Structure formats: C-alpha cells, structure tokens
Structure 1
Amino acid sequence: MRALEWAATHPTRVRSIAAVGTTAATTAEHIAWAAAQTAAIRADARFAGGDYYDAADGEGPHVRLGIARMIAHTTYRSEPELHTRFGRSVQPDDDGIEGDVLRGPGEPGSGQHAIESYLAHHADKLARRFDANTYLRIVHAVNTHDVGRGRGGAEAALAGFAGPALVAAVDSDRLYPLSHSKELAAALPGCEGVDLLHSDVGHDGFLVESAALNALVETLLDRVDEDV
C-alpha cells in the first residue's frame, strides 16, 4: 500500500514497485473484518480509552487484543488449508461434543477443537509483543487506504508512474483476491500483468512461498537494470 502511495505521489523518484497481495483501495469487506477487531479491543475494560500505559504487567487490554488477532489471523489463511490441517479434530484428552463450553481455552474439559487452540496460541503470541493502540492505528491506516482518493481514481493516480511494476497475487487469498490484483495491474502502465503465486494457505502464501516470490522479484530487478 505504501509502495503504491509512493508511486502516485513521487512517480519520477520511484524507480520500480512490487505490490504483493494487496489492492488499490480497501474494500467494504476489509473494513467489516477490521470493525470486529477494533470493537473487540475497545470493549476490553482494561483498554481504558487507550490510556493503559501505567497499568501493571498483565493488566492491559491483552485479552481483547488477542481476540482481534484471532479474527485477523483467520482471514490470513484459507478454508482448504484450515480444513486439511485441523479438520474437526479436538485437543488431546478433550471432547469437542461433550465439552463444557463455559470453560476457557486450554482448561481441561473445555471441548476445545484444534483450530481453536491454534488461534488462541497466535492470540497469546501477539498480545505479549504488541500494543493495542498501535494495532488500532494500523487498522485505521489500512481502512483508509485508497490510492485514487482525490486523484480521480486509481488509474489516474498511477498513470504518471511508468517504472517496472510487479503485481503478484496468491491464488487462495480470500483477503485480497485475484480480482483486486487484476484491477491494480491494469492501472499500472509498467506492469506486464498479474503474477500468480500458488499456495494453499491463503493470504499468508506470500510469506510461505518465499522462493517463488523471490524469483518474481529477481525478474522485476532484471527489468529495472534493463531500464537504467
């Protein structure tokens, strides 16, 4: 998203860009997913309107921050990958049918499915290293992303940037589907079309399929060298 802004704002200073798994403008669905995340954080009593920095260790809004992460993480993966990886399996020594749903994640007898444990693990990891206010600011920045705003649309905004451009999409990405990349590629004069990364994991495929992405970036850099 920032690369697109740089290309639109400084088209003669930017030599080339790579836009991977992104969009020219955040959509209503993106904002809808984000709304659930930000609502979770603000609903945490320990959030205190964002004024929690004097709270004792463990007394900040980490629980609802973790819930926000669980929502977001689900959008980063694909349904086929989650089904193949977890299916309907439950945690060892637990029962997903007879379990007590009033028990919290990780408590014996909670009836927790493996996918629930996986999401809870990632929630805990993020909550231990990230700041809730920062999370809200990042979400707001993504929600307001629209490279064509005030510039006559994406095509007009990017028309002045003629440098080599890579637009890549992950074929299983439900957060930024292929259609978004096609629209973006059409708006970039220096783009030769969308490069498709195959991955079963969804949006995070651009992280998992690093070798394939590296090859695309190398090709882009070769084009840059040719233009120098």
Structure 2
Amino acid sequence: MFADIVELRDFYAGRTGQVARHLIRRHVRAIWPSLSGQRVLGLGYATPYLRQFRDEAERVLAFMPAQQGVLRWPPEGPNAVALSDEATLPLPDYSIDRVLLVHALERTEQLRPLLEEVWRVLMGDGRLLVVVPNRRGVWSRLERTPFGHGHPYSASQLAGLLREQMFMPMQTSHALFVPPTRTRTLLATAPAWERIGQRWFNRFGGVVMIEAGKQVYALNRPLQTVASHSRVVVPFPRVVRPTGARWGEEK
C-alpha cells in the first residue's frame, strides 16, 4: 500500500507538511547528532529528512519503492535517488552505517523481506531509525496526510517487530503533537504543542520513532550473496520532475 509520489510531494510542499518535516527532522537530528563520515540510506520517502546530513556524511542515498514512484533529489548536484525493489536492495552486505525508514514500514507489502534487507546491508555497528504513524495518535486516524495511510504501530508493537527481525531497540521517541490541520494560526503553535506533548502526553504523538541496533550475534539468518542483490530499477518510467515553487520545497 503506497501513496503516489505526487501526493507525498504535495504534502511536504504544503504548510502542514512543512511543519511535520521540521518537527520530525529535529528529533532525527537529536537521535543522530553527527554522522560525519557515515554512509546513510533513506528508504520509503525519506528525502525530506536527509538534507541535514549531506554536508557531513560520506554519502547519502535514497531508494524509493517502484510502486510509489520517484522524485529526483537533491534538486542541485548529482541525483542520489533510485527506484528499488524493497526485497532486493542493490547494495553489498555490511555497506551502510545508518538507515532511515520514513513512509516505508507502514506501507510495504514486503514487511519482513524489507527488514531482512536492511539487516543485511547495515554494518555490524550500524543503526536503523524507523518513523511510523502512531496507532494512538490523531495523525494516523485522518487520511488527509500520508501518516493517515497504511498500518500504524504503537511503540511496543514496533519494538516487538524489530526484535523479531534481529534488531535491538535502543531508544524511542514521539513527535507531531500538533493536530494535522491546515490552519496557519494553529500550525504556528506547533512548538508549544510539541513541548506540552513531550512532557504530559508522550504516547499520543503523531509518529513513533525507534532507533535500533543490529543483533550481530544472531547469525542464524542465511545471507544471500551480493550478486543476487545487484538489480536496481532505474528511475524511469514514473520520474516526477516538479517545477516552480513546489520543486523548491523538495529539500
């Protein structure tokens, strides 16, 4: 179950999406304060949250599922995005230091194969950061935003899933306490909502975020050869190239 790439683009170009991006990006940066020299991979639709790492990471890549479509990113410089089958990421084993999943886990029809691939490509001391709609939050109940589609999770459900897939949850946080509104005056109060929510209503944020490490001692999982994962879907036939103001918002 995937939102169309145009819907995702338009959401983040609007006021509500810009606020959501700002609030979630702050939490991502708090969890990963410095990625100097690291190799970073975004899966799903993670590009709104990757720009902050481009000046410090060794490399920043983004793979988007073929069912969703793809946007060229970044708007300046070489393209760093490609379409890819979630179950066969075109990367060698142990090749990535950080993986960020946004608009991915709740939408995929290949849940366990996707997480198996993330486990495969992560370095032994690598970290995975998953951002999903919170089952207890308002954002998952309204379809007006991308966070209202797919399968939401509670923090305990997401942590349990990660453990099943040989990841060890390390820290959990919540974000997006402001209601999913388009009203400018209410969105302007988002920082206050965030402070109050973090202190008093932590479990009811719009998204759950869990950072997890790789259980490297759990080597009973068979690793496929790199050759079997060498296929990548070239970003053709559904490349969307926004123009004007909306293209400027895809940062």
Question: Taking structure 2 as the reference length, what is the TM-score of the superposition?
Answer: 0.23
Greater C-alpha radius of gyration:
1
Question: Taking structure 1 as the reference length, what is the TM-score of the superposition?
Answer: 0.25
Of Structure 1 and Structure 2, which has the larger fraction of its residues in helix? 1
